[in-house]
Amino acid sequence: MVKDTKTGNRLSRLNPETDRQEQAVPALAIVDPEIFAAALAKRGGRAAMAPRDRTTPRHLLSGLLRCGSCGAGMSVEDHHRGRTRIRCTKATEAASCDNTRSYQLDVIEAAVAGGLRDRMVDRDGIALYVRVYNEERQALAAYSVNRRAQIEKRLQQAEREQDRIYKA
Ligand SMILES: [Zn+2]
């Protein structure tokens, strides 16, 4: 806040960027990261996200785990004694699921990794893995191409608009 010397009124002014400190505190997020990302994707895509939110998933199974009771996503509940606990997002945010139990993420990750390791000795399991992996990569690549086209279109629009403003 600064004081207007003429009127004596207090005015709010943003501090210069060099005086600001920013830090992501995912544990204090009001909206589940999964839901937030989905909402951003709907609103205008990842281009609208802050760079720190565009990073790769935080955990091995980020976005993949589902509540066994209602099928909703799981979100980080807290970090307790160096271990991460997760919980049904619907149970946490809307109390619309009765599965209020929390789970140790490292236990789930170890079980999944162990299961994968067991199945990777099987030829059919490897073939299935490679096929699903390639399908997912292709879907992601198609998404990127599509996004790039959208962004380039928006850029052209912005450039045309800039031209118009400049000419005016
Ligand atoms: Zn649930």
Higher pLDDT, 89 or 52: 89
pLDDT band at residue 117 using 50, 70 and 90 as cut-offs: confident
Q: What is the structure's pLDDT at 164? A: 94
Average pLDDT, the chain: 85
Amino acid in the structure at residue 145: V
Alpha carbon of 92 to ligand 1 centroid (Å): 9
Alpha carbon of 71 to ligand 1 centroid (Å): 6
Alpha carbon of 73 to ligand 1 centroid (Å): 8
Mean local confidence (pLDDT), 30-46:
77
Mean local confidence (pLDDT), 70-84:
89
Alpha carbon of 145 to ligand 1 centroid (Å): 35
Q: How many CA atoms lie within 13 A of 146 on its CB side?
A: 10
Tell me which DSSP letter residue 45 carries: -
Q: How many helices (H) and strands (E) does the chain have?
A: 4, 5
Q: What is the structure's pLDDT at 51? A: 57
Q: How many CA atoms lie within 13 A of 27 on its CB side?
A: 6
C-alpha distance across the termini of the chain, in Å: 37
Alpha carbon of 65 to ligand 1 centroid (Å): 11
> What would the pLDDT profile of 7-16 be if each residue is shown by its tens digit?
888 888 888 8
How many Å apart are CA 124 and CA 117, to the nearest integer?
A: 13
Task: Compute the CA torsion angle 64, 33, 27, 96 (nearest 10 deg).
Answer: -80
Q: What is the structure's pLDDT at 56? A: 63
Domains of the chain, residue spans: 27-105
Q: What is the structure's pLDDT at 165? A: 93
Alpha carbon of 13 to ligand 1 centroid (Å): 44
Alpha carbon of 90 to ligand 1 centroid (Å): 6
